[in-house]
């Protein structure tokens, strides 16, 4: 309850900040995108991790204004990077199922899409399997309307939920992210290795791209590259970075 009250104040005082984790092309090693990750700069508690407040924000509906801020801020930042001469990047933003069940999402994104510069930003919405599981025809229609604005979808934490191939066929998803729990054990656990391999092959045969999350070691990177995983994300490449450090990282990596 305490945190909930403080979260309300945090929205008013704009105590949030976005970090950006680089995503590289597994083949070339070039940065091709970033995942925006929200942090809460609490005046007394310091930096509060989203693991500690996203759930509360979802239960109380506060994820709607927070999510709107995240989207706005990520797009503002992407425009600034373009103005500073950074290449066009895919920018992934996490979207909660609560936001998807709320009517304002389409208008929010439509508004963002009307702003100057938007056509140069490849916006990706990261959704989890639970969004698709709890979804109705209305969600599917909403996803397609948003998709018409030039936005792509990535299925986050893939493999942890009740993953179903039928979701990948039915919904306009073009990208899956293999959950880091499988990546972290893929060299020690033969089942995880097979699973990672199967996800990559299955995604490719459905015409989807694959990002591996939580890549922490060089051997994991080799394993994934050898199996034609398309993109890599994880501490081996870089932790999530403040915007200016992300910019330097991209410039250094070219």
Task: Name which of 96 and 152 has its Cβ closer to ligand G.
Answer: 96
192 lies in the binding site for Mn ion (CB under 5 A): no
Spatial distance between the Cα atoms of 62 and 53, rounded to a whole number of angstroms:
10
Smallest separation, CB 156 to Mn ion (Å)? 4
Inter-residue contact 178 to 219 (CB < 8 Å): no
Q: Which of 152, 149, 147, 157 is nearest to 124 (CA)?
A: 152
Total residues binding Mn ion (CB under 5 A):
3
6 binds, among Mn ion, Na ion, ligand G, none (CB under 5 to 8 A by kind): none
∠ at Cα 128 (123, 133), nearest 5°?
125
Smallest separation, CB 180 to ligand G (Å)? 5
Binding residues for Na ion, per CB under 5 A? Answer: 156-157, 213
Cα 227 to the chain's mean position, in Å?
A: 22
Smallest separation, CB 37 to ligand G (Å)? 4
Q: Is 145 exposed, middle or buried (0-12, 13-18, 19+ CB in 10 A)?
A: middle
Smallest separation, CB 213 to ligand G (Å)? 5
What contacts 44, CB < 8 A, 6 or more positions away? none
230 binds, among ligand G, Mn ion, Na ion, none (CB under 5 to 8 A by kind): none
Task: Name which of 83 and 178 has its Cβ closer to ligand G.
Answer: 178
Spatial distance between the Cα atoms of 90 and 245, rounded to a whole number of angstroms:
17
Pairing of strands 209-212, 46-48: unpaired
129 lies in the binding site for Mn ion (CB under 5 A): no
156 lies in the binding site for Mn ion (CB under 5 A): yes
49 binds, among ligand G, Na ion, Mn ion, none (CB under 5 to 8 A by kind): ligand G
Helix, strand or coil, per DSSP, at residue 169: helix
22 binds, among Na ion, ligand G, Mn ion, none (CB under 5 to 8 A by kind): none
Residue where the block lists tokens 């709890």: 134
**Partners of 63 in beta bridges:** none
54 binds, among ligand G, Mn ion, Na ion, none (CB under 5 to 8 A by kind): ligand G
Smallest separation, CB 179 to Na ion (Å)? 6
Sign, Cα dihedral of 165, 170, 174, 179 = negative
Pairing of strands 152-158, 122-128: parallel
Residue where the block lists tokens 């990077």: 81
Smallest separation, CB 97 to ligand G (Å)? 9
Binding residues for ligand G, per CB under 6 A? Answer: 21, 37-38, 49-51, 54, 67, 70, 94, 96, 156-157, 180, 213-216, 234-235, 240
Smallest separation, CB 237 to ligand G (Å)? 8
- Binding residues for Mn ion, rule: CB under 5 A, are 94, 126, 156
């Amino acid at each position: 309850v305490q945190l909930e009250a403080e979260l309300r104040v945090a929205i008013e005082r704009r105590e949030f900040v976005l970090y950006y984790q680089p995503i590289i092309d597994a083949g070339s090693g070039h940065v091709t995108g970033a995942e925006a990750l929200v942090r809460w700069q609490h005046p007394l508690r310091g930096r509060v991790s989203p693991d500690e407040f996203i759930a509360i924000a979802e239960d109380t509906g506060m994820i709607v204004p927070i999510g709107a801020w995240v989207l706005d801020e990520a797009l503002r930042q992407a425009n600034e990077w373009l103005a500073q001469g950074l290449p066009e990047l895919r920018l992934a933003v996490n979207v909660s199922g609560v936001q998807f069940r709320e009517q304002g999402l389409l208008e929010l994104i439509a508004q963002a899409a009307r702003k100057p510069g938007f056509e140069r930003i490849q916006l990706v919405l990261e959704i989890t399997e639970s969004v698709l599981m709890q979804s109705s025809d209305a969600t599917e229609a909403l996803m397609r309307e948003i998709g018409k604005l030039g936005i792509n979808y990535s299925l986050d934490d893939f493999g942890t939920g009740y993953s179903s191939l039928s979701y990948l066929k039915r919904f306009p998803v073009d990208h899956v992210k293999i959950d880091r729990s499988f990546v972290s054990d893929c060299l020690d656990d033969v089942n995880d290795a097979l699973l990672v391999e199967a996800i990559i092959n299955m995604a490719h045969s459905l015409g989807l791209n694959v990002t591996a999350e939580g890549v922490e070691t060089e051997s994991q990177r080799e394993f994934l590259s050898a199996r034609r995983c398309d993109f890599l994300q994880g501490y081996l490449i870089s932790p999530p970075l403040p915007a200016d450090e992300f910019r330097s990282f991209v410039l250094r990596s070219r």
